[in-house]
Chain A
């Protein structure tokens, strides 16, 4: 509690390594390459930047590699599974495909009628999925200029997560639409968020048995898809400080341990284990 003010004064309390030449405005998304130590960051300053992250003894070094510019703030990014190409989309209503490792130029591959909030690459289908505030979800084959399929959503897309064949889309009005990507044209299920406030982020379980949903009210819900497992659903509060309740901005699972991290507007990140329902303590080195 008393650290709130302190945190504002010290912008690096954990003495983390800061990348060289950071963005000049807020960072909207981060993405590591699946094949190498390349980090992509998109920002409200309209840029998509790439750094190479390497070890320098006990320290971590970052080398700016390249960047591209959009016309307007960029909101989302993802790597292609081959680690050669980056997709980025944002308020300019386009998604640019950038084959940066082969030195190519970015190319527009997707368009919507409103800013594109989320983008996901689905290697099993070789398609790019994009969710936008125009209440549609579109699937794109990057070689064609028209979407392969357009899926209507009940409201603006706010969050998206894919763990083939599970895909969960969080929209405004607390809708959560679950798709089975083997049959992407039909909604598998539509549920109302277990949280009583606006959905901010979603993350699918690595074993595809369910998903996490985070809201603006400092709460995360754990939801299982199978009806028989509904008893294991629960929600927990987090990122609250005294009488202030912060939004949970991002959820991410560890690919191996199946624990997950939450990041909140209170400037903190936590690690949790949903099976033991505990918050994990970060060992102090």
Chain B
């Protein structure tokens, strides 16, 4: 296969605290040291859930929040490893702010490839590791997709591309980046190609598919498919993630979802990220989490971080406020002191009015 034209996402970033890193290895080290570390014995685990289980079993204590995480990202249920497992809406939101241009460029290519993704890999999906909702990955893939088309081995999937399971697409996406996972044969997409008749319906842009039908057996191509798919969908990632989980089981049912194209994309996008992130060992971790992640994808991240200052009075310092307490007032025979106190009381009143002492 030719060189994969994957574009490296501008930066990998930590789901729990939004910090950015140059490469994923550093990100993983950061997560292990900051979020997956047992607070009792300082043992570093590999996931938040693993850390919670360790603390429960070894130290008999229950951990409900991921340490050092931003509010809304503290759940120990959501399985994150490096860039894998990040819900698509969060992913999209993060990247949406950063690289508008590249993703737009990618989207142009995608329309054609969408079809491909849609096709569902149904059966193929099985082998496919859980797709990570890496929306960001999408841009990268676009490039990749065009390349493989040639080799796309349309999977023997008989189903006309209708059945595109969103689920199928999802699995595909995971491997996309690196993994060649012939398993998925993203080809799910391909089948549509095989059915020229159906393809027209499918395609919103199917330009790619037409080319594909030609080559059935080369699955590896499928991977690029996802990326592309994802790219187009990035905006829709959230709706898809929600739909994906449901569609997966059905496979066929998902087709409708797929037609929208975005669903599969999100799956793919997620997958892409996985593959990208964990190229060398995508197989293991990627498979596990995706189903979980897909389910959690619809979860809404709280928009506002509820942090508050324990001492929030800008007008006066702690000592000044304390001095005005009744308990320290007994000494104020001096007029000087009472004038100071009066000034302090006035300030307190003003700030109360200003609503500053909400807490």
Question: Chain A interface (Cβ within 8 Å of chain B)?
Answer: 1-3, 28, 44, 71-73, 75, 91-93, 113-115, 117, 133, 156, 158, 172, 197-198, 200, 216-218, 240, 242-247, 265-266
Contact = CB atoms under 8 A, between A and B. Distances in A.
Nearest to A241: B310
Nearest to B67: A1
A23 to B, nearest CB: 14
A114 B340 contact: yes
Interface of B: 39, 61, 63-65, 67, 71, 305-320, 322-323, 328, 331, 336-337, 340
Contacts of B71: 242-243
B336 A113 contact: yes
Contacts of B67: 1
A156 B311 CA distance: 18
5 contacts: A2-B39, A114-B336, A156-B317, A172-B317, A242-B71
B281 to A, nearest CB: 30
A217 B309 contact: yes
A220 to B, nearest CB: 15
Given A197-B314, A200-B317, A247-B318, A71 B308 contact: no
A158 B336 CA distance: 20
A192 to B, nearest CB: 14
Contacts, number: 76
B323 A115 contact: yes
Contact of B61 (A2, A218, A240, A246): A2
A3 B38 CA distance: 13
A44 B310 contact: no
A6 to B, nearest CB: 10
Nearest to B320: A133
A265 B328 contact: no
Of A91, A93, A156, chain B has the most CB atoms within 10 Å of the CB of: A91
B63 A2 contact: yes
A270 B336 CA distance: 40
B308 to A, nearest CB: 7
B328 A244 contact: no
B125 to A, nearest CB: 39
